[in-house]
Amino acid sequence: MDVKTWLKQAKTQIDSLDAELIALRSFAPSRADRSWLVAHGEKKVEALRTRADGMLQKRKAGMPLAYVLGEKEFYGRKFVVKPSVLIPRPETETLIELVKGLRLPKQPNFLEIGTGSGCIAITLALEYPQSIVVASDLSSKALEVAERNDLQHEGRVELVRSNLLKDFDFGEYPEHFDVVVANLPYVNKDWAWVDERNLEFEPSNAIYARGNNGLSVYQRFLRELSYFGGSDGVWVDYLVLEADPCQHSKLIEMARKAGFVHLKTEGYGLLFESTWRYWYDYRAKGYIHKPERVLMKERETGKISFIEEELGSLEE
Ligand SMILES: C[S@@+](CC[C@H](N)C(=O)[O-])C[C@H]1O[C@@H](n2cnc3c(N)ncnc32)[C@H](O)[C@@H]1O
Categorize the per-residue pLDDT at 175 as very low, low, confident or very high, splitting at 50, 70 and 90.
confident
Average predicted confidence (pLDDT) for the chain: 87
**Ligand 1, from 91, 92, 111, 139: best to mutate by most atoms within 8 Å of Cβ?**
139
Task: Check pocket membership of 185 for ligand 1, CB cut-off 6 A.
Answer: yes
Residue from 160, 161, 154 nearest 131 by CA: 154
**Distance between CA atoms of 314 and 294, rounded to whole angstroms?**
13
| Longest Cα–Cα distance in the chain | 79
CA of 184 to the centre of ligand 1 (A): 5
Domains of the chain: 3-61 (no CATH), 72-274 (3.40.50.150)
pLDDT of residue 310: 38
Q: One-letter amino acid identity for 236?
A: V
- The total of other beta-carbon atoms located within 10 Å of residue 299's CB is 13
Task: Check pocket membership of 205 for ligand 1, CB cut-off 6 A.
Answer: yes
The answer to whether 207 touches 242, Cβ cutoff 8 Å, is no
Categorize the per-residue pLDDT at 301 as very low, low, confident or very high, splitting at 50, 70 and 90.
low
**Distance between CA atoms of 6 and 8, rounded to whole angstroms?**
6
- pLDDT tens per residue across span 188-232: 999 988 888 889 999 999 999 999 999 999 999 998 887 654 444
Is residue 109 predicted with pLDDT exceeding 70? yes
Is residue 36 predicted with pLDDT exceeding 60? yes
Helix (H) or strand (E) holding 182: strand 176-182
